[in-house]
């Protein structure tokens, strides 16, 4: 895994007593600013949520940051592996064990204010320079609809939009709000109609047996009841 960056987030994922911890659990993540960043000052929405769940579940995970497509490959091969956030789609259904849905996100075409934003896939078919994150259901959808696109990493997407390397992006509205805010560009984003709703999950290898989906769901419900989930959502997606 020459491309791998191997990091144990000691401050974010709080160590728990070894007698209680599932120490062999491994997280396979993409290093991107919105959901799962290696930057401990801004670790991303899902990293913060899952850190709280991990503490509740007495987990002491090792975190592997990989390119997104490789992260998906690795977690399928590792009986101890967990990945997030993963969109649950029919093409992925049998490849993973689905532990816990964290949120639903609306997907649409998005551009800088002043751009013409298509409100349907048909209207987007003649547009060139649409950016999409590689290895995602959004890319899969554009491919299925025969819409030309430019495949980028999550980190590259908003920089490409700012530079004009892409004219539009096809992504989730909450992610775009946060990602654009990190660019520090004064231009406002313009949003099209919702064309997909994507459920984002914590998923695991099909062989994963250390914790049940019910345990994850209970931990998430407890976290939401504390009010902290809503606080984090507002912090990241309503800047």
Which domain CATH number covers 109?
3.40.190.10
26 has a pLDDT exceeding 60? yes
pLDDT of the residue at 238: 80
Residues 11 and 87 occupy one common structural domain: yes
Residues 90 and 170 occupy one common structural domain: no
pLDDT of the residue at 122: 97
The range of the structural domain enclosing residue 164 comes to: 104-197
Confidence (pTM) = 0.80
- Do the beta carbons of residue 35 and residue 46 sit within 8 Å? yes
At 13, is the pLDDT very low, low, confident or very high (cuts 50, 70, 90)?
low
pLDDT of the residue at 210: 87
Residues 145 and 61 occupy one common structural domain: no
Residues 85 and 132 occupy one common structural domain: no
The mean per-residue pLDDT over the stretch 195-209 comes to 96
Residues 138 and 119 occupy one common structural domain: yes
- Do the beta carbons of residue 25 and residue 75 sit within 8 Å? no
Residues 126 and 233 occupy one common structural domain: no
15 C-beta neighbours (distance < 10 Å), count: 13
Nearest Cα neighbor of 24 from 218, 210, 231 is 210
Q: In a 10 Å sphere around its CB, with 0-12 CB exposed, 13-18 middle and 19+ buried, how is residue 110 labelled?
A: buried
21 has a pLDDT exceeding 90? no
Structural domains counted in the chain: 2
Residues 16 and 90 occupy one common structural domain: yes
Residues 82 and 96 occupy one common structural domain: yes
* 159-181 b/e (C-beta count within 10 Å ≥ 16 → b): bbbeeeebbbbbbbbbbbbbbbe
The mean per-residue pLDDT over the stretch 18-25 comes to 55
pLDDT of the residue at 12: 63
Residues 108 and 170 occupy one common structural domain: yes
Residues 162 and 89 occupy one common structural domain: no
Residues 49 and 95 occupy one common structural domain: yes
For 131, half-sphere exposure in the C-beta direction (CA atoms, 13 angstrom radius) is 23
110 has a pLDDT exceeding 50? yes
Which uninterrupted H or E stretch holds 220?
Answer: helix 213-225
In percent, the amount of the chain with pLDDT more than 70 equals 90
pLDDT of the residue at 154: 85
pLDDT of the residue at 48: 97
In percent, the amount of the chain with pLDDT more than 90 equals 76
95 has a pLDDT exceeding 90? yes
pLDDT of the residue at 23: 53
100 has a pLDDT exceeding 50? yes
Backbone angles phi, psi at 13, to 5 degrees: -90, 95
At 157, is the pLDDT very low, low, confident or very high (cuts 50, 70, 90)?
very high
Residues 175 and 211 occupy one common structural domain: no
């Amino acid at each position: 895994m020459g491309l791998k960056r191997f990091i144990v987030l000691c401050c974010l994922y709080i160590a728990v007593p070894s007698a209680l911890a599932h120490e062999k659990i491994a997280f396979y993540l993409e290093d991107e600013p919105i959901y799962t960043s290696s930057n401990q000052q801004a670790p991303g929405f899902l990293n913060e949520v899952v850190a709280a769940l991990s503490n509740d579940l007495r987990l002491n995970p090792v975190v592997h940051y990989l390119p997104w497509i490789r992260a998906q490959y690795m977690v399928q091969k590792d009986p101890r592996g967990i990945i997030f956030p993963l969109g649950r789609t029919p093409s992925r259904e049998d490849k993973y064990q689905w532990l816990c849905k964290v949120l639903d996100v609306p997907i649409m075409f998005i551009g800088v204010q002043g751009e013409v934003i298509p409100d349907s896939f048909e209207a987007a078919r003649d547009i060139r320079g649409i950016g999409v994150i590689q290895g995602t259901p959004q890319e899969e959808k554009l491919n299925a609809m025969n819409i030309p696109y430019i495949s980028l990493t999550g980190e590259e997407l908003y920089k490409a939009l700012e530079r004009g390397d892409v004219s539009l992006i096809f992504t989730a509205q909450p992610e775009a709000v946060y990602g654009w805010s990190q660019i520090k560009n004064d231009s406002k984003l313009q949003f099209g109609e919702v064309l997909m709703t994507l459920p984002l999950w914590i998923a695991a290898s099909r062989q994963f047996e250390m914790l049940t989906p019910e345990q994850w769901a209970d931990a998430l419900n407890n976290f939401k009841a504390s009010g902290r989930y809503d606080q984090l959502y507002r912090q990241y997606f309503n800047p």
